[in-house]
Copies of this chain bind each other. A is one copy, B any other.
Amino acid sequence: MPENLTPLNAIGEFALIRRLQAGFSLRQASTVLGIGDDAAIIAPTAGLEQVMTTDLLVEGIHFDLSFCPLRHLGYKAVAVNVSDVAAMNALPTQLVVALSVGPRFTVEAVEELYAGIRLACEAYNVDLVGGDTTASRGGLTLAVTVLGEVPAGQAARRSGGQPTDLLCVSGDLGGAFLGLQVLEREKQAFLADPDTQPELANYEYVVQRQLRPEARLDIVHELRELGIRPTSMIDISDGLASEVLHLCTASGTGARVFSEFLPLANPTLEAAAEFNLDPITCALNGGEDYELLFTVPVADHEKIKNHPDITVLGHLTDAAEGANLITKAGQPVPLKAQGWTSF
């Protein structure tokens, strides 16, 4: 270990916690007490309901530290949880972080991870109110649990979709998957020749989509401003196809998704061409885009149709129709979940 780095066992758990929490401030009026006691204290806002979700990121399964900087990992760990909060039509308020790190990590490495967590807390206006930091025999594991708030009765469940509701998605799809292909390729090139420099400059957009996804809280705010309440919503972590099927199953509907409407960014199309991958397949099955997939009543079409960052992909149908991708030639192709499974 270089001399300017500090082994974790040199400072002890309590001193580590003090160092990690430095620089975090509390923003939410509902946070009564943050880090430092047996538990945080929260005063829920009258008239609001809460949402609660947890996500685990495991080294070697969800991320590869040979190309994922710790600061980005910290940011992403918060973002993917906040994305689940957004998918309920809610805004995040508090979070806790449980972290285990193996013996090869230094105090400075864990601080870098927390710098990313802090940036995400600032970006999403959420308070870090507690955590647990401990050793592991293996790699790094990061469990984040987030609380959020939503006006009572306004949470968007997966089950609220109705046949004829418009099926909408934020942003664009497939980029995160292609970013991962680029990073994996550069890693192999590096392993083959450690003197090689990673060539990422031409892939900035897709690499960013993979390493530093953003939770689409902006869409939650904009839907409120447009006076639109999504009838159902889910975030896209496993790929569009898998998430459409989840919405259909929960809502008891089918769906028609028009392939020509799938939002694909130019850098995604270019990377797909280079890797000889079908960009539509990347959008359907790639995963990790963390965009929001939601349904709105047909009556809201006027409000949403010109939104620069929301695309109407199709609509829900009766369950009997099934969930289909409609090709440019008008042919229905049943959607299949090829979503990622870690086992």
Report A's interface with B, CB cutoff 8 A.
8-9, 12-13, 16, 32-33, 36-44, 46, 48-56, 58-62, 84-85, 87-88, 90, 94, 96-100, 129-132, 134-139, 141, 143, 145-148, 150, 152, 155, 157-159, 233-235, 250, 341-343
Contact = CB atoms under 8 A, between A and B. Distances in A.
B39 A85 contact: yes
A338 to B, nearest CB: 12
25 contacts: A9-B341, A13-B341, A13-B343, A16-B343, A32-B49, A32-B155, A37-B250, A39-B51, A39-B85, A41-B50, A41-B51, A41-B88, A46-B46, A52-B96, A53-B130, A54-B143, A56-B143, A58-B137, A59-B137, A61-B100, A61-B134, A61-B137, A62-B134, A138-B138, A145-B145
Given A137-B61, A145-B54, A49 B40 contact: no
Nearest to A32: B49
Most chain B Cβ neighbours within 10 Å, of A56, A85, A148: A56
* Number of copies of chain A assembled together: 2
B135 A342 contact: yes
A159 to B, nearest CB: 8
Contacts of A234: 38
B137 A12 contact: no
B39 A88 contact: yes
Name the 10 nearest CB pairs between A and B, nearest first: A138-B138, A143-B143, A44-B44, A39-B53, A39-B51, A145-B145, A38-B87, A135-B342, A60-B137, A56-B98
Given A8-B343, A37-B157, A55-B98, 13 more contacts: A13-B341, A38-B84, A39-B53, A39-B88, A40-B51, A40-B53, A41-B88, A42-B49, A44-B48, A52-B129, A56-B99, A56-B143, A138-B139
